[in-house]
Amino acid sequence: MCIRDSSSSLKNQAKDIIQKVDNELQKLKPDHKALLRWAFDFPQKLCDDTGKKAVVILDNFENILELNNFSQVRDVLSVVSLKHIDVRLIASSSFSNEIEPLVRKHFETVRIVPLDRKAVDELCSRKKVKTARGTADQILRFTAGHQFVTEHLVNSLKETGSVKRAFAALIANRESPVYTHLAAVFHESIGRARGQALLKTALNVLSSSGPLSLTELSRKIYRSAPVTKSLLERLIYVDLIVKKDGKFTFSDPALGLWLRLASSAPLGKATQHDIDVMEGQL
């Protein structure tokens, strides 16, 4: 639907903004700052015209920072208004370490809490999956309570009856939601960090060797401690790595396992033999 068509059913203020945007986009050099302000003001103007309230969800909020590349913008969060009377904005992002300091003065920040043992038991019960004592702990070993991965693992558990085999089946199948999700997280995260080649080397070592101290990792990648520390800081910044008890490890254990095993996944549909091989590597 074009801008002119969509504005025909709107009233006064909202229609006026659409007309302004339409006119501005006809220019050879549009005012990017003005376009941004109108875009963020539009929901409130629409509420003013309709007498209703609205909730606007800004998913993958980290992408809004790319607007800083426009010379007229530079700092998008200082250009737009994020507080309105009748509009509530919800911004979501997987890159909490990068985004949270930037939005703290604009939003109340809430981190999604991983599922605990009780929540995993309830999830299994809700999905009618038969479990034994300790099943929830086995699931958490692979997922650390990541809700998306946990839900798909529980679904896979219905078919396999074994947590380990269920996870192996998800990793062996390149088209499974878990495989594609973990691949997307890895490539997007590593893409936001600098020095990808060396970062991938460090991640591969961590995925195969488990949690390592700064000294242990620097020895394995043949780099000095200061260089290794800089690498780890970049990986922590994009939420791939965390420091626990003096050692560095993956913030999402499923991602570490995926990185170690992904190359073993067959290009076609995974057979039972492929799953057997993958399960043997877990």
Alpha-carbon gap, residue 210 to 269, rounded angstroms: 29
Alpha-carbon gap, residue 167 to 217, rounded angstroms: 27
Is residue 212 within 8 A of residue 247, CB to CB? The reply is yes
Amino acid type, 50: T
Full-model pTM: 0.75
Query: Which one, of 247, 163, 177, 174, lies nearest residue 212 by Cα?
Result: 247
Size of the chain, expressed as the number of residues it contains: 282
pLDDT value for 11: 63
Query: Which one, of 241, 253, 259, 279, lies nearest residue 149 by Cα?
Result: 253
Backbone angles phi, psi at 142, to 5 degrees: -90, -30
Is residue 75 within 8 A of residue 68, CB to CB? The reply is yes
Rounded to the nearest angstrom, the gap between the alpha carbon of residue 137 and the centroid of all alpha carbons in its chain is 24
Query: Which one, of 140, 253, 91, 255, lies nearest residue 189 by Cα?
Result: 255
Is residue 3 within 8 A of residue 24, CB to CB? The reply is no
**Residues in CB range of 228: below 8 A, 6 or more apart:** 202, 214, 217, 218, 221
Could you list the pLDDT tens digit for every one of the 282 residues in the chain? 344 444 445 568 888 888 888 888 888 888 888 888 888 889 998 898 888 899 999 888 888 888 888 888 888 887 777 888 898 888 888 888 888 888 888 888 888 888 999 999 999 989 888 887 889 999 999 998 998 999 999 999 888 888 999 999 998 888 899 999 999 888 888 887 776 788 889 999 999 888 999 999 999 998 999 999 999 999 998 889 999 899 999 988 889 889 888 877 777 777 888 888 888 888
pLDDT value for 5: 44
